[in-house]
Structure 1
Amino acid sequence: MSTITTQDGTEIFFKDWGPKNAQPIMFHHGWPLSADDWDAQMLFFLANGFRVIAHDRRGHGRSAQVDFGHDMAHYAADAAAVVEHLDLRNAIHIGHSTGGGEVAAYVARHGIPADRVAKAVLVSAVPPIMARTERYPGGLPIEVFDGLRKSLADNRAQFYRDLAAGPFYGFNRDGADVKSAVIDNWWRQGMMGGALAHYQGIKAFSETDQTDDLKAITVPLLVLHGDDDQIVPYQNAGVLSADIAPNATLKLYKGYPHGMLTTNADVLNADLLAFIRG
């Protein structure tokens, strides 16, 4: 396996496919998944001549299940460590859900020198903040996230099964094309990671105010969100992120769920390619 060890001693797993002289695309996965959630995108962009990279966040997938650093600052620093190890230049950074928060934090805090980052994409992403605050009264009440923590602690395996089989992919909607293998793959990825990292990660993805990160992103930013996202409601996420970031473009997808990169990969991949080549 390809791994690096960060300055605080955490081993991070990563994949690096394709010509090393091709433009790199780095993918940042959502909670509580792994780099495997990007299979459809990595194969597509590899076939289109790009170098593709994805890592497992600390405590997730094949990375070390450490008992510290499960916050957005460490997530961004770990991504930066992979970037620096591979010396990625002119890279496109694409993040889904919590990975979108990681992208925002990475580009804002570690995107130096300037030739490191060419463009960025947030897909169904958590910024500026999911939890309700005085600044963002449209956010979700903290009780929602307390409920996630309780469900994880009570029966993580059943909680993950129910999340994947229900709202994550919109499989709870009337007439949904429910794919059991997609549910199984989500569950597999989730259970590979550590319970503590996932438990503490709920606070990271829900209570981190990334307004300043969004303001600091000056490269072209594409914000994609489904208007039937039952996990990260688009009005307080994608819409606000595109309004805050100075060089952002927003695209909403009618009826698409949180996991639209899987359920609607053909549409999303084409739109991502158009943005990258545009």
Structure 2
Amino acid sequence: MAFATTKDGVKIYFKDWGDKNAQPIVFHHGWPLTADDWDNQMLFFLAQGYRVIATDRRGHGRSDQVSEGHDMDHYAADVNAVVEMLDLKNAIHIGHSTGGGQVARYVAKYGQPQGRVAKAVLISSVPPLMIKTKNNPEGTPVEVFDGFRSALAANRAQFYIDVASGPFYGFNRKDAVISQGTIQNWWRQGMMGSAKAHYEGIKAFSETDQTEDLKAIQIPVLVMQGDDDQVVPYKDAAVMQDKLLKNSTMIIYPGYPHGMHTVHADVINKDILQFIRK
């Protein structure tokens, strides 16, 4: 198993497949998952000749279950530790949901100033800000996130079944084609991680204002989201990202759910490949 050690001594697990001289693609997973959420994409882009890398966020999966540092600043710094260890250059960073916030913070603070990134992709991502505030009146009320925290603390195992079998993949919609394996794999990944990291991660993905991160990004960014995303409302996410980014392309997919990179991987992979090859 491969690990990078951060400046505060945390071991971050990563997968690294393919030709070390090929252009690297780095994948950033959503809450509360792991690098395994990208298995489909990693195999697809590996077959296209890319080097593919995915990490487990601190407190998630096989990375250290540390008590502290469950915030976007640490998440981005942890990615930077992996990137510097592998000396990745001309990289493409792809993030889903919370991973999209991680990409935005990493690119703005580390990757772009260091000249290490070529392009980025935000899939169903949380920036600029999820929570409802005085300055973000269309956001999601804090009570929703308090409900997530209460359900996690009360019975994390059942909560994760409910999320995966319901809104995450749109399996609660009429005529949805339900994959029990996908539900079980989501649950498996979630239960590998730390309850504390997942609990505190809710605040990180919902309350971190990443407006300035998006404004700072100069590289080309592909923004992708489904208009039936029941987890991250697309009008407050993808649409706002496209407005704030200087060099973006946006695709809104009719009827697609939050976890569209899994249940519609054939479409999403093709569109990302086209963007990368431009």
Query: TM-score, normalised on structure 2?
Result: 0.99
The letter for the 2-side match of 1:156 is R
Structure 1 residue 49: Cα displacement: 0.1
| Structure 1 runs not aligned, ≥5 long | none
Instruction: Check the 8 A contact 2:72/2:102 in 1, yes or no.
Output: yes
* Paired residues for 1:176-215 under 5 Å: 176-215=176-215
Aligned length: 278
Deviation >6 Å, runs of 4+:
none
Helix, strand or coil at the partner of 2:78: helix
The CA deviation at 1:74 is 0.2
Deviations 1:119-172 (A, max 9, x none): 001000000011011222111000000000000000000000000000000000
* Alignment of structure 1 residues 120-139 onto 2, 5 Å: 120-139=120-139
Give the letter for the 2:137 counterpart: P
For residues 75 and 50 of structure 1, the distance between their equivalents in structure 2, rounded to whole angstroms, comes to 24
State the alpha-carbon separation in 1 of the partners of residues 92 and 133 from structure 2.
Answer: 31
Report the equivalent of 2:35. Answer: 35
What RMSD in Å do the two structures reach over aligned CA positions? Answer: 0.7
SS of 1:115 mapped into structure 2: coil
Alpha-carbon distance in structure 2 between the residues aligned to 1:58 and 1:114? 23
Q: SS state of the match for residue 115, structure 2?
A: helix
d(CA) in 1 for partners of 2:117 and 2:135? 29
Aligned to 1:88: 88
Which runs of structure 2 are paired with 1:91-110 in the superposition (5 Å)? 91-110=91-110
Tell me the residue number matched to 2:239: 239
Q: Name the amino acid aligned to 2:207.
A: E
For residues 114 and 197 of structure 1, the distance between their equivalents in structure 2, rounded to whole angstroms, comes to 29
Q: Equivalent residue for 2:20?
A: 20
User: 1:8-35: CA deviations, max 9, x gaps?
Assistant: 0101000000000000000000000000
Matches within 5 A, 1:246-261: 246-261=246-261
1:68 aligns with 68
Cα distance in 2, alignment partners of residues 152 and 80 from structure 1: 29
Do the aligned residues in 1 keep the contact of 2:112 with 2:217 (CA within 8 Å)? no
Decide which moves more: 114-123 or 11-20.
114-123
Distance in 2, Cα, partners of 1:76 & 1:229: 25
Is 2:154 the counterpart of 1:163? Answer: no
Q: Residue 171 of structure 2: SS of its match in structure 1? A: coil
The normalised TM-score by structure 1 is: 0.99
Listed one character per residue, the Cα deviations across residues 65-87 of structure 1 (whole Å, up to 9, x for unaligned) are 00000000000000011000000
Deviation at 1:113, TM superposition (A): 4.7
Amino acid at match of 2:186: W
Gaps spanning 5+ residues in structure 2: where? none
Give the Cα–Cα distance (whole angstroms) in 1 for the partners of residues 243 and 61 of structure 2.
33
Q: 1:108 Cα shift?
A: 0.3
How big is the shift at 1:249?
1.2
Partners of 1:111 and 1:41 in 2: CA distance: 22
- Could you tell me which amino acid in structure 1 is paired with residue 135 of structure 2? R
Q: Kindly state the Cα deviation for residue 114 of structure 1 after the two structures are TM-superposed.
A: 4.5
2:149 pairs with 1:149 = yes
Distance 2:100 2:229 in 1: 15
Partner of 2:220: 220
Opposite residue 119 of structure 2, the aligned amino acid is: K
Match of 2:57 in 1: 57
2:229 corresponds to which letter in structure 1?
D
- 1:27 is aligned with what amino acid? F
Per the TM alignment, residue 272 of structure 1 is displaced from its structure 2 partner at its CA by: 0.3
